[in-house]
Amino acid sequence: MADFNLSFPNYQLELEADQLEPAPGGHLLTGQALRITLPFAPRRMYRHGFHSWSQAGWLDLDREHHPPLLRQLWPQQDDPDLLENYPFASSGLIAFEADPGRVLLLGALSVDARLEWRAPHVSAAIQSHRPEEKHRWYLAEGAEMEVFNGYAQLLSEKFSARVTDPAPRVWCSWYSLYRNISEPQMLDILRDLHSLPFDVFQIDDGWQQHIGHWQPNHRFPSGMAHLAAAVRQAGFTPGLWLAPFIAAPSSPVFQQHPEWFIQDAVGAPLPAGENWGGSFYGLDVTHPQAQQWLQELIHQVTAWGYTYLKLDFLYGAALRGARQQDIASEQAYRLAMQLVRQAAGPQTYILACGAPVLATLGLADGLRIGPDVSPFWDNYDRTHYLSDPTGPSCRNALSTSLARLWLKPLLHIDPDVVFFRTRYNLLQPEEKIVLQRLAQACGFFATSDLPAWLDPHERQAVQAFLQHRPHAARLSRYRVALDGHIFDFEPYLQA
Ligand code: 9PG
């Protein structure tokens, strides 16, 4: 490591890195680890969470921040290392607000990067087991939109990420029926959707035998290929949810091959989190037989006719644990995604959910950029008493999704669904509009409302929402222009 001095318009920065060279709008640093000394006391810090549901956003540094109690119960469900110095540890990138309107950003151009703020130092390191690799970082100071955009450009080159077509418009079963789905009901909905201009009809969690056991359960008696054919017949692309990198302990794959799963320090399977009534485990995709199982699974669902896959709980392949082959966790995740992409083919649309963010670039078509929405605005108890801003809630989804709008040039960004229904819904009309504006800002149009639950005006609103994609231009951190009309999200972020 060497010491460098960088001059910016309003201050000088001392930093330690292997190398430093100029780059568009900033500098490229090289090194497995870096350290920067900030000559100012930042007012706000941009923290970027590990995966889709993890918290991202600008934190006020003069406020007190509490450790997320709920996450500490299941540290693997987020990045356990980021919980250590919460919320001052960040995944992939970090930024600071210096003078009003100006930011300093440090972003990795590699996966497995963790950054941390301990005044007055920013330290950053790549969790790499391959020291011969050369790791690069982007450091830029300037107007917020320009700095983040400069970083996105470099990421796009690094990961060959490209956005071409507009995102498909999706009907998804989750936020109306949750796990209570069945074949007859799906057929009824298909019929009721008829003239609504959706591209994809996506069946969510609830069709499978169990997590890891990806065969239809008794509520889907004709099988998944039959349903895919009915979806196509109705004029939509068949979409299916699955969580290919995790398994429940009772699933055949886990029962028969516990050694295909990521292990803890003493060789026991490492729990990846808690849901579906128990723990679940993450697939070790460095295991050749696990790789084969994974590719056969993806072949199976595409052979059924599903060409839109919502792949969920993807962080399960990126747990910090022991694998057959000793590679870093996000590298293992990327390997898993490459295998999936290879098996699914280039034409299958992959929506990554619960997914490590930077490590998904170039491999998925779309990415969920926040936690789940809900038919209510806030999840006050979980947010405040358990200090967990990642629970299902529109406010949490809005806050984290807005913080990830800068990813838009890199892939389709999915802020989750918009609600139009009044039935089974506590959202106020204004709150539903905010979700629509968020979807428009992201350019991703999805809903879950059962057509039978909509009154004629609501159905009309869905139709209009799907038919017109306004031109979206981001003006500042929380403001966008939609067809030239300025919308400010900031008032809706207040607790
Ligand atoms: C299906 C759902 C939907 C939804 C996904 C995901 O335990 N958890 O922390 C947890 C987080 C998110 C979550 C479920 C559980 O939702 O985001 O759209 O597909 O899975 O189960």
Q: Give the residue extent of every domain in the chain.
A: 2-159, 169-470
pLDDT tens per residue, range 343-365 = 999 999 999 999 999 999 999 99
DSSP 280-313: EEEB-TTSHHHHHHHHHHHHHHHHHT--EEEE--
Which whole number is the average pLDDT over 33-61? 96
The per-residue pLDDT for 394 is: 98
Which whole number is the average pLDDT over 299-308? 98
Nearest CA to ligand 1 atom 8: 275
In DSSP terms, 12 is beta-bridged to 7
Which whole number is the average pLDDT over 431-443? 98
* pLDDT band at residue 66 using 50, 70 and 90 as cut-offs: confident
pTM: 0.98
Residue 460 CA, distance from chain mean position:
30
Residue 120 tokens read as 């007055």
Residue 210 tokens read as 């169990």
Residue 355 tokens read as 């997914």
What rounded mean pLDDT belongs to the chain?
96
Q: Please check the confidence at residue 417 and state whether its pLDDT lies above 80.
A: yes
Nearest CA to ligand 1 atom 7: 275
Which whole number is the average pLDDT over 134-146? 96
Q: Which H/E stretch holds residue 239? A: strand 237-242
- The reply to whether 372 belongs to the active site is yes
What residue type is 77 in one-letter code? Q
Q: Is 41 exposed, middle or buried (0-12, 13-18, 19+ CB in 10 A)?
A: exposed
Q: Please check the confidence at residue 446 and state whether its pLDDT lies above 70.
A: yes
Least confident of 129-133, 282-286, 297-301, 348-352: 129-133
pLDDT tens per residue, range 238-271 = 999 999 999 999 999 999 999 999 999 999 999 9
Residue 284 tokens read as 């070790």
Nearest CA to ligand 1 atom 10: 275
CA–CA dist 190, 232 (Å, integer): 10
The per-residue pLDDT for 129 is: 63
Q: Please check the confidence at residue 387 and state whether its pLDDT lies above 90.
A: no
CA–CA dist 169, 444 (Å, integer): 7
DSSP state of 322: B
pLDDT tens per residue, range 453-484 = 999 999 999 999 999 999 999 999 999 999 99
Q: Which of 54, 275, 315, 367 to mutate to test the pocket of ligand 1 (most atoms within 8 A of CB)?
A: 275
* pLDDT band at residue 101 using 50, 70 and 90 as cut-offs: confident
C-alpha of residue 371 to centroid of ligand 1, in Å: 8
Ligand 1: which atom is nearest the Cα of residue 354?
17
Q: Which of 72, 178, 205, 388 to mutate to test the pocket of ligand 1 (most atoms within 8 A of CB)?
A: 205
Ligand 1: which atom is nearest the Cα of residue 241?
19
Which among 301, 162, 167 has a CA at the least distance from the CA of 243? 301
Name every residue whose Cβ is closer than 8 Å to that of residue 30 and which is 6 or more positions away in sequence: 17, 18, 19, 20, 21, 134, 135, 136, 137
The answer to whether the peptide bond before residue 120 is cis (omega within 30 degrees of 0) is yes
The per-residue pLDDT for 466 is: 98
The per-residue pLDDT for 495 is: 66
DSSP 83-121: HHTTTSEEESEEEEE-STTEEEEEEESSSSEEEEEETTE
Which whole number is the average pLDDT over 437-443? 98
Q: Please check the confidence at residue 131 and state whether its pLDDT lies above 80.
A: no
Q: Which H/E stretch holds residue 22? A: strand 19-23
Q: What percent of the chain has pLDDT over 70?
A: 99
C-alpha of residue 130 to centroid of ligand 1, in Å: 33
b/e per residue 359-368 (b: at least 16 CB within 10 A)? bbbbbbbbbb
Which among 414, 474, 418 has a CA at the least distance from the CA of 444? 414
What is the phi-psi region of residue 107: left when phi exceeds 0, alpha when psi lies from -120 to 50, beta otherwise? beta
Q: Which CATH class is domain 169-470?
A: alpha beta
**Angle at the Cα of 206 (from 202 to 211), degrees rounded to 5?**
110
Q: Please check the confidence at residue 139 and state whether its pLDDT lies above 80.
A: yes
CA–CA dist 310, 349 (Å, integer): 8
The per-residue pLDDT for 9 is: 87
Q: Please check the confidence at residue 284 and state whether its pLDDT lies above 80.
A: yes
| Maximum pairwise Cα distance, the chain | 67
Q: What percent of the chain has pLDDT over 90?
A: 88
pLDDT tens per residue, range 199-236 = 999 999 999 999 999 999 999 999 999 999 999 999 99
Q: At what angle do helices 329-344 and 288-304 cross, to 10 degrees?
A: 40
Which is more confident, 311 or 134?
A: 311
CA–CA dist 318, 355 (Å, integer): 9
Residues with CB under 6 A from ligand 1: 53, 77, 174, 204-205, 241, 275, 312, 353, 372
The per-residue pLDDT for 375 is: 97
What is the phi-psi region of residue 443: left when phi exceeds 0, alpha when psi lies from -120 to 50, beta otherwise? left
In DSSP terms, 486 is beta-bridged to 481
Q: Report whether 221 contacts 185 (CB < 8 A).
A: no
Least confident of 73-82, 153-162, 330-339, 419-428: 73-82
DSSP state of 280: E
C-alpha of residue 297 to centroid of ligand 1, in Å: 20
Which whole number is the average pLDDT over 376-402? 93
Least confident of 72-76, 79-83, 103-107: 72-76
Q: Please check the confidence at residue 153 and state whether its pLDDT lies above 80.
A: yes
CA–CA dist 89, 140 (Å, integer): 19
Residue 409 tokens read as 């040039």
The per-residue pLDDT for 158 is: 97
